[in-house]
């Protein structure tokens, strides 16, 4: 079956905190009187990353993008824990972190995102978005001058359901009026993108920018600029 629609994840697939999470986190801390090094923040971030599920359970919130109040509680808790690991207890700084990472001004497209989107659009593919993100993602995509590119956008904060719920993928397929086998989803997470998309019959491409999933099952790319060539082979 010919691929008609290419869906993308947003965070860490098309866009990212600028210049990076550790660098932005460090800058905010430094500006608020807490000198620290990017390398130290990165080390703490990596150490806590495998425990995000447990950290989420501490808040009692497992779907933070669905409600602004839940988003505030959830992300504030994570920033508070990161700061505590760095030896900092400062509730106003937690608020500064939340405000910073909830601002569209703090995000940029990856360098390969816009060229890849234009290449695919030029090749005749219809483009869509399926993302776990707060509702302000829609406005941010407009500010980043790519919102108009997506024919179909299914954003958890607007829809009221999050990945890996397969229903969010079914909803995207229904809105795009496309058969599952004629659609491909591209994202950076095996569990949040690849597995649930496959469960509804979609084809998938795992974006693995940092070679984290070298033993992944199925198509995998290290850059979005590899997608157009790969699609010809699917």
Q: What is the pLDDT of residues 187-221, one digit of tens each?
A: 999 999 999 999 999 999 999 998 989 998 999 99
**Cα separation of 98 and 96, whole Å?**
5
CB < 8 Å & 24+ apart, contacts of 213-222: 216/190, 218/194
Widest CA span in the chain: 58
- Within this chain, do residues 144 and 183 fall inside the same structural domain, yes or no? yes
Q: Is 206 exposed, middle or buried (0-12, 13-18, 19+ CB in 10 A)?
A: buried
- Within this chain, do residues 34 and 125 fall inside the same structural domain, yes or no? no
Average pLDDT over residues 35-48: 93
- Within this chain, do residues 91 and 137 fall inside the same structural domain, yes or no? no
| Domain interval for residue 37 | 20-105
Average pLDDT over residues 47-51: 80
Q: What is the CATH number of the domain that holds 185?
A: 3.40.50.1000
Compute CA 22 distance to the chain's CA centroid, rounded to the nearest angstrom.
Answer: 16
State the pLDDT at residue 53.
66
**Cα separation of 160 and 33, whole Å?**
38
Helix (H) or strand (E) holding 227: helix 227-233
- Within this chain, do residues 72 and 148 fall inside the same structural domain, yes or no? no
What φ, ψ does residue 107 adopt, rounded to 5°?
Answer: -125, 150
- Of 53, 88, 105, the residue at which a domain comes to its end is 105
Confidence band of 110 (pLDDT split at 50, 70, 90): very high
Q: Are 194 and 204 in contact (CB under 8 A)?
A: yes
Residue showing tokens 């157009």:
228
Average pLDDT over residues 140-150: 95
- Within this chain, do residues 116 and 78 fall inside the same structural domain, yes or no? no
- Within this chain, do residues 100 and 113 fall inside the same structural domain, yes or no? no
- Within this chain, do residues 221 and 191 fall inside the same structural domain, yes or no? yes
- Of 70, 105, 140, the residue at which a domain comes to its end is 105
Q: Round the average pLDDT of the chain to a whole number and report it.
A: 95
Give the C-alpha distances (Å, rounded to integers) separating 133 from 64, 93, 124, 178. Answer: 9, 23, 27, 23
- Within this chain, do residues 228 and 115 fall inside the same structural domain, yes or no? yes
- Of 71, 105, 139, the residue at which a domain comes to its end is 105
Confidence band of 105 (pLDDT split at 50, 70, 90): very high
- Within this chain, do residues 134 and 26 fall inside the same structural domain, yes or no? no
Total domains, the chain: 2
**Cα separation of 164 and 155, whole Å?**
13
């Amino acid at each position: 079956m010919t691929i008609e629609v290419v869906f993308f994840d947003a965070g860490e697939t098309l866009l990212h905190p600028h210049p990076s999470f550790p660098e932005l986190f460090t800058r905010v801390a430094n500006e608020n009187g807490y000198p620290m090094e990017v390398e130290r923040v990165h080390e703490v971030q990596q150490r806590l990353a495998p425990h995000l599920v447990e950290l989420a359970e501490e808040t009692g919130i497992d779907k933070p993008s669905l409600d602004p109040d839940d988003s505030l509680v959830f992300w504030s808790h994570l920033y508070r824990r990161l700061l505590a690991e760095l030896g900092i207890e400062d509730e106003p700084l937690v608020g500064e972190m939340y405000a910073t990472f909830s601002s569209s001004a703090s995000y940029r497209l990856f360098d390969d995102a816009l060229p890849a989107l234009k290449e695919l659009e030029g090749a005749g593919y219809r483009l869509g978005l399926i993302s776990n993100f707060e509702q302000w993602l829609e406005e941010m995509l407009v500010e980043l001058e790519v919102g108009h590119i997506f024919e179909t956008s299914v954003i958890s904060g607007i829809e009221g359901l999050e990945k890996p719920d397969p229903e969010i993928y079914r909803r995207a397929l229904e809105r795009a009026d496309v058969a599952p086998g004629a659609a491909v989803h591209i994202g950076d997470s095996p569990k949040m993108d690849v597995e649930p998309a496959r469960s509804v019959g979609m084809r998938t491409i795992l974006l693995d920018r940092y070679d984290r999933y070298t033993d992944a099952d199925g198509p995998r790319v290290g850059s979005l600029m590899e997608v157009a060539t790969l699609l010809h082979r699917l």
